[in-house]
Amino acid sequence: MSKTPTGYDVLHNARLNKSTAFTREERDQLGLRGLLPYRVNDTETQEIRALENIRRKGYDIERYIFLISLLERNQTLFFRLLINHTEELMPLIYTPTVGQACKEFAHIFRRPHGFYITPDDRGSVRKIMDNWPEDDVRIIVVTDGERILGLGDLGANGMGIPVGKLSLYVACAGIKPHQCMPVMLDTGTNNQELIDDPLYLGYPQKRLHGDKYDALVDEFVSAAFDRYPNALLQFEDFLTPNAYRLLGKYRDKILCFNDDIQGTAAVALAGVYASTRITGTDFSDIRIMFLGAGSAATGIGDLIFAALVDAGLSEEEARKRLWFNDRDGLVVAGRTDLMPHNQPYAHDHEQLGFIDALKTIKPHVLIGATGAPGTFTQEVIETMAAINERPVIFALSNPTSKAECTAEQAYQWSDGRAIFASGSPFDPVEFKGRQYRPGQGNNAYIFPGIGLGAIACQARTISDEMFLASAAALAAEITEDDLAAGALYPPLSSIREVSLRIAVDLAQKAYDQGLAGADRPGDLGKHIAAMMYVPEYQDLADV
């Protein structure tokens, strides 16, 4: 057992630091007398002080900086705050504020977080992987920064995304902080503004592409799983062609998934399931139209397709329920500009503009994943409301500034009949004497539970059936009270319970499919719950 740090060393160790919560005895034992103010605080008092500091800040980006600084100096208090005040703090540590944090990453940089790999590291990635101080990494979130949220190519500034995602893995699903590793695959940037910025911290060259890019990704994946064979790799915010290609290449070789394709799909499917409890539409009868045909939209389509087949439809019938529009109009057969992931949804139909497509197809559900704000215009919402008594509107683009429409617009333009969900949070809306609580279709409802379940059962891969089980588990957590308020998702305050249920159902499916490497415990729920990290100060004598 290594020697316990003392004095300034323990105060500057984020994992061990208790700050003003060190007891009199600990202060004597650890050489802290004289290094702390007199008063000994309990954690509740520390939370009050931290919240007071957060709330006095004038801007969300300042609140983000405070929270990241807290993570750097007192890990336990940071996660206690995030767990106990999830609804208030998640929008600060993740969407929408993380979008601004990524844009300004190099300008607000304080201390390094995560692991960076650049083209200069080719041939040495496995060697430098040993520089990471932890030996038991279970969750790796990697991005190359080329398509951060709806903000585009932010290069190495995109490190804010893996850091934020892994904070949610800890807070929402109880993954232990030391088991989390954020990775930036910094292959350069095509954002000239970043290259010209003297404060930019990333690799200041145009992006790698083709064989050189693939070789660096291959080297990283090989090195990561050589060092951490029990890890789950989450691909995050890759450009659509790379996202699909890398997922297809690795999903049956290593334990991995793409959150933009598969996580978004599961959370959207759960919302669609929930919407049928309000509209009365049988799921097997549903028609869905998408605005946007990138990785998020087609990922949702692929999982809903699988769910429709699971509900008893033929593959041909299921495809006909799903329609896509991109910037060039309706995705139809005969178009020569379609990518491979779009082609299964290219129906034999005349080309139509978006409004005419809505009027002709008459979808029950409209899903936006465009990254283009305001694309659900008043005409669009009114058209959906003319087609449906309760039109279902998903404006999923992140951050909030990129949403296809606001919650208030959806309710006003539909005369209060819309069932609305968004990717980033909107405040409750008062309309004609009724209060609506917009549902936030945040991937945080899904990916932490998927990660927890996968590592709990030592899954060898994550199958489509596991994502279907995860979506069904999330939908089952939505109460009648949630639906009565117009919300398609449960309150964020219940997210740890939601993650546990998802983890249990995913692991159960893995065992049923023979895809689990661990022995099945007698009580799966109790086994997984016991794994979940609870942020409590340690007795340093045990360290």
Point out the residues that are catalytic. 94, 165
**Which segments of 203-356 are extended strands (E)?**
232-235, 256-258, 288-291, 322-326, 329-330
Pick left, alpha or beta for residue 425 (phi over 0 → left; psi -120 to 50 → alpha; otherwise beta): beta
- Residue 134: what residue type? E
Task: Give CA 143 to chain center in angstroms.
Answer: 12
Cα–Cα distances (Å) from 409 to 253, 294, 354, 378, 381, in that order, read 45, 25, 19, 8, 9
Closest-CA residue to 40 (of 58, 27, 30)? 27
Whole-angstrom distance, CA of residue 436 vs CA of residue 486: 6
Alpha carbons within 13 A on the beta-carbon side of 174:
22
Angle at 387 between CA 385 and CA 388, to 5 degrees: 65
Closest-CA residue to 171 (of 525, 534, 536)? 534
> Strand, coil or helix: what is 88?
helix
Q: To which residue do tokens 């995560």 refer?
A: 114
Lay out the sheet containing 392-395: strands in order across. Answer: 329-330, 322-326, 288-291, 365-368, 392-395, 419-422, 439-440
Whole-angstrom distance, CA of residue 384 vs CA of residue 415: 12
Six-digit token string for 215? 């070789």
With contact defined as beta carbons under 8 Å apart, do 132 and 112 qualify?
no
Six-digit token string for 234? 């989450």
Six-digit token string for 437? 């609580």
- Long-range pairs for 33-38: beta carbons < 8 A, 24 or more residues apart: 35/7, 35/8, 35/11, 36/11
With contact defined as beta carbons under 8 Å apart, do 181 and 110 qualify?
no
Cα–Cα distances (Å) from 414 to 391, 470, 539, in that order, read 8, 31, 57
Determine phi and psi for 148, rounding to 5 degrees. Answer: -80, 115
User: What is 316-347 written as a DSSP string?
Assistant: HHHHHTEEEEETTEE-BTT-SS--TTTGGG-B
Alpha carbons within 13 A on the beta-carbon side of 502:
34
